[in-house]
Amino acid sequence: MDSEELLAQLADIHLPEPVSYWPPAIGWWVLAAIALVLLVILLRKIASSQRQQKICRYALAELQRCYSNYSQADPVSIDQNKLNYVNQFNTVIRRVALVHYPQANAASLDGASWVDFIRQKGESSLMTDDIAAALQYGRFQTKCEVDVDAMQSFGQQWVESLYKGSVKPSEGSRDNTATNPQGLSTDA
């Protein structure tokens, strides 16, 4: 047989099968797993952030409700109204502390230790000596001399500093100004 006959008997060149997109290589599986883990972490952070914002709005609404109760109360018994406001305010602030710092044992704090806790954990630049005294001794007094508007501004500032983190806590800050902090929102 001559060489041309032999070449004619040969089959044509077989090309390999085209590379399939499925199943992907191990690197793509690892990348997909990492992306899935990052997505779950991101979704948890978003859910946690939304939960914290909801708690903050609720706490600010509670403070506003205390202030509204004080504003709508009978002006004849102003001392009793202030005492009621201070006690309601203190209750809301303590509940916020219990939610935000569950391991801090805030429920058992009273007097000066309670005021020190408030100063250490959140923005307290609006806390005056009168507000500190009202928080320390308000429940035990028959008459309370505190500026309710300044106390309300302080409470809003303190709650927002915990949940929004926009202001740094000032340890032992005793600025006696009673201005309304910018950006405070009391809508629920």
Q: At 136, list the tokens.
A: 């320390």
Which residue do the tokens 């429920």 mark? Answer: 107
Supply 79's token pair: 């001392």
**pTM of this structure:** 0.68
Per-residue pLDDT of the chain (188 residues; tens, 9 = 90+): 688 888 888 888 888 888 888 888 899 999 999 999 999 999 999 999 999 899 999 999 999 999 999 888 887 778 888 888 899 999 999 999 988 888 878 888 888 888 998 888 888 888 888 888 888 887 777 777 888 899 999 999 999 998 877 444 444 333 333 333 333 434 43
Q: What is the pLDDT of residue 170?
A: 41
Using only C-alpha atoms, what is the Rg of the chain?
32
Residue for token pair 């047989």: 1
How far apart CA 89 and CA 147 sit, in angstroms, is 13
